[in-house]
């Protein structure tokens, strides 16, 4: 049994702490805030057991030009931030070559497939079934040609990865989801996507399970991390905490901490926003509006509209352009109702240029471990990724582990 310190209590850190605990280790989980208040709080709530799309960058000139000219709602950017992220974005572009993408998609799909079973274990143990709807997500298109192309891509992923999408027309969608108006040309239903009615509460429920099982919680600033003898030390409200192993699970803040130890992590910071609406009718499944790059999910805090990616600095002030365009775009689809007044939330997806998370041992420091970079699907992948992390911790080897191993990748000084 080892003494473990997990830094960061988002979905990834909390899942990591639980996985260590399940395998008999003594764990302290530290965050500067309460659990699940950053990216893991405000996401679209999907636990996507059937995702094989690692969010590649389109490589065709037309789409890239449309991004550049700000014509699309899936990506907005601030040019200074893009220039700062340029080396990581260039690597991202190169990893999206079709021959490389196939391998990334395979690993991505495998991690997604494992995610629902890994969540189910925790949901049952923590008694959080009331926060989960197993009703799937619809990807919708208004243009028949785009709907057709989306259906073809979905059927290909069904064949390649053993997924089971269902292709339906707009009339069937309205029959299944009466809140959706006519006008949709076609939809792909992903039945193995589960929805959380309150993503932050799910993380907090998992954190409560960790504490009920005897795990220690500490409030503190991870940036005080230092080497101490053969182990690691960090300051907390209760004084310094020391452990043999430390896991960096700080989401988008992980590169900054690792920089201090000489690791240059080329992360892409993909900010996203949400807004809530007092919609007169809710949705059972979630709607991914491909034309307007927003996701609609009914939650305990009303209808949540979540946006695509804004490439901006972490400290940039909020910019509601993507929400505003999204609201306008979905107005033909669903009656959103009045917007709930609340401070503008945003969170940052920690996205790696090769689209896969960083899971395993830091190559040049004994007892320093990495678990971050889950990008668009960290809420989904937390518990399954934590199981893989523990496999790596125990020295196991597999194709997936070598693909996500920090030491073997450019990200932390590997090849
Ligand atoms: C709009 C939006 C929609 C999304 N939709 C989905 C979805 O539907 N499904 C899905 O699977 N994923 C989704 N994601 C992505 C998902 O939310 C993230 O991948 C995931 O939450 C990342 O989890 P994390 O634990 O790595 O990071 P975070 O949840 O950001 O946690 C990092 C933790 O580190 C702590 N921390 C940072 N610095 C310090 C410090 N110095 N000291 C102490 N603690 C510190 C923070 O307080 C925080 O608790 C979405 C993201 C966004 C923004």
- pLDDT per residue as tens digits for the range 355-380: 999 999 999 999 999 999 999 999 99
Within a domain: residue 403? yes
Q: How many Å lie between the centroid of ligand 1 and the Cα of residue 146?
A: 31
| 22-55 pLDDT per residue, tens | 999 999 999 999 999 999 999 999 999 999 989 9
Asked if residue 52 lies in contact with residue 109, where contact means CB atoms within 8 angstroms, the answer is yes
Instruction: Between 383 and 301, name the one with better pLDDT.
Output: 383
Closest residue to atom 12 of ligand 1, CA basis: 377
Within a domain: residue 20? yes
Q: How many Å lie between the centroid of ligand 1 and the Cα of residue 61?
A: 31
Asked if residue 224 lies in contact with residue 234, where contact means CB atoms within 8 angstroms, the answer is yes
Q: How many Å lie between the centroid of ligand 1 and the Cα of residue 396?
A: 27
Closest residue to atom 44 of ligand 1, CA basis: 31
pTM of structure = 0.97
Within a domain: residue 122? yes
Report the 3 state secondary structure along 345-370.
Answer: CEEEEEECCCCCCEEEECCCCCCEEE
Residue 369 belongs to domain with CATH number? 3.50.50.60
Within a domain: residue 157? no
Q: How many Å lie between the centroid of ligand 1 and the Cα of residue 148?
A: 34
Within a domain: residue 298? no
Q: How many Å lie between the centroid of ligand 1 and the Cα of residue 38?
A: 5
Within a domain: residue 158? no
Count Cβ atoms within 10 A of the Cβ of residue 171 and give its class: 0-12 exposed, 13-18 middle, 19 or more buried.
exposed
Give the binding-site residues of ligand 1, using a 6 Å CB cut-off: 8-13, 31-33, 37-40, 42-46, 221-223, 249-253, 272, 274, 306-307, 347, 349-350, 372, 374-380
pLDDT, position 377 = 98
Question: What average pLDDT score do residues 124-146 get?
Answer: 98
Residues 6+ apart with CB under 8 A from 65: none
What gap in Å lies between CA 105 and CA 342, rounded to an integer?
Answer: 37
Closest residue to atom 27 of ligand 1, CA basis: 251
Q: Looking at ligand 1, which atom is closest to the CA of residue 379?
A: 11
| 149-207 pLDDT per residue, tens | 999 999 999 999 999 999 999 999 999 999 999 899 999 999 999 999 999 999 999 99
Within a domain: residue 386? yes
Asked if residue 240 lies in contact with residue 30, where contact means CB atoms within 8 angstroms, the answer is no
Residues 6+ apart with CB under 8 A from 226: 232, 233, 234
Closest residue to atom 10 of ligand 1, CA basis: 377
Q: Looking at ligand 1, which atom is closest to the CA of residue 346?
A: 53
Residue span of the structural domain in which 254 resides: 1-56+97-130+196-267+354-415
Among 225, 347, 356, 383, which is best to mutate for testing ligand 1, by the most ligand atoms less than 8 A from CB?
347
Within a domain: residue 206? yes
Task: Give the confidence band of 413 by pLDDT, cuts at 50, 70, 90.
Answer: low
| 243-256 pLDDT per residue, tens | 999 999 999 999 99
Q: How many Å lie between the centroid of ligand 1 and the Cα of residue 216?
A: 21
Q: Percent of the chain having pLDDT more than 90?
A: 93
Q: To the nearest 10°, the Cα dihedral for 350, 356, 358, 360? A: 150
Q: Looking at ligand 1, which atom is closest to the CA of residue 37?
A: 49
The length of the chain, given as a count of residues? 415
Number of domains forming the structure of the chain: 1
């Amino acid at each position: 049994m080892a003494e473990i310190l997990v830094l960061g209590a988002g979905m990834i850190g909390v899942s990591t702490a639980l996985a260590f605990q399940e395998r008999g280790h003594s764990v302290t989980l530290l965050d500067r805030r309460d659990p699940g208040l950053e990216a893991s709080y405000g996401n679209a709530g999907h636990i996507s057991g059937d995702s094989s799309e690692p969010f590649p960058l389109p490589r065709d000139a037309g789409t890239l030009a449309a991004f550049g000219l700000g014509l699309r709602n899936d990506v907005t950017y601030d040019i200074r931030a893009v220039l700062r992220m340029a080396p990581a974005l260039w690597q991202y572009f190169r990893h999206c070559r079709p021959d490389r993408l196939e391998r990334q998609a395979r690993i991505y799909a495998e991690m997604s497939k494992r995610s629902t079973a890994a969540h189910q274990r925790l949901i049952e143990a923590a008694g959080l079934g009331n926060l989960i709807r197993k009703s799937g997500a619809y990807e919708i298109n208004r243009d028949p040609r785009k709907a057709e192309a989306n259906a073809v891509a979905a059927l290909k992923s069904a064949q390649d990865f053993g997924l089971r999408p269902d292709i339906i027309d707009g009339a069937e969608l309205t029959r299944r989801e009466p809140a959706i108006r006519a006008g949709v040309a076609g939809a792909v239903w992903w039945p193995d996507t589960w929805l959380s009615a309150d993503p932050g509460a799910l993380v907090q429920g998992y954190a409560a399970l960790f504490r009920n099982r005897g795990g220690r919680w500490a409030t503190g600033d991870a940036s005080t991390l230092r080497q101490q003898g053969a182990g690691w030390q960090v300051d907390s409200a209760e004084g310094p905490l020391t452990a043999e192993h430390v896991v960096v699970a700080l989401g988008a803040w992980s590169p900054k901490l690792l920089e201090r130890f000489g690791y240059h992590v080329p992360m892409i910071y993909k900010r996203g926003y949400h807004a809530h609406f007092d919609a007169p009718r809710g949705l059972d499944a979630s709607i991914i509006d491909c034309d307007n790059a927003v996701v609609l999910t009914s939650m305990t805090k009303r209808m949540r509209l979540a946006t695509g990616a804004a490439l901006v600095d972490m400290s940039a002030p909020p910019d509601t352009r993507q929400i505003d365009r999204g609201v306008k775009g979905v107005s033909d689809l669903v009656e959103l109702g009045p917007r709930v007044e609340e401070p503008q939330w945003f969170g940052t997806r920690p996205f790696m240029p090769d689209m896969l998370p960083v899971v395993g041992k830091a190559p040049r420091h004994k007892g320093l471990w990495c678990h971050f970079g889950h990008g668009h699907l960290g809420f989904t992948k937390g518990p399954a990724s934590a199981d893989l992390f523990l496999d790596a911790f125990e020295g196991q080897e597999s194709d997936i582990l070598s693909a996500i191993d920090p030491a073997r990748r450019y990200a932390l000084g590997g090849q």
